[in-house]
């Protein structure tokens, strides 16, 4: 996993994302539905990973208290 802070990345580093969400039909230049869908999908992915980590931590704590 990369530890690069997204705000420190250059436009060149993010170009594939920029091209993916770009929309000439939008006044702001991006496809808002696609952009939000990507963000929400990624947040779901992160949430499921956090839940898995929390379950493992709880299981570790439970095994230590027994």
What is the per-residue pLDDT across 6-59, written as a single tens digit (0 to 9) for each? Answer: 889 999 999 999 999 999 999 999 999 999 999 999 999 999 999 999 999 999
Would you say residue 19 lies in a domain?
Answer: no
Q: Does 13 map to a domain?
A: no
For residue 6, is it within any domain?
no
42 in a domain, yes or no? yes
**19-48 burial string, b = 16+ CB within 10 Å, else e?**
eebeeeeeeeeebeeebeeeeeeeeeeeee
pLDDT at 6: 83
63: domain range? 33-66
Q: Give the per-residue pLDDT at 14.
A: 92
Residue 59: inside a domain: yes
Instruction: Look at residue 25 and tell me if it is in a domain.
Output: no
pLDDT band at 66 (very low <50, low <70, confident <90, very high): low
The pTM is what?
Answer: 0.74
Domain count, the chain: 1
């Amino acid at each position: 996993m990369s530890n690069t802070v997204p705000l420190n990345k250059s436009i060149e580093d993010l170009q594939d994302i920029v091209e993916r969400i770009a929309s000439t039909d939008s006044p702001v230049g991006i496809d808002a539905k696609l952009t939000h869908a990507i963000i929400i999908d990624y947040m779901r992915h992160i949430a499921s990973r956090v839940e898995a980590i929390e379950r493992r931590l709880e299981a570790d704590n439970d095994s230590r208290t027994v």
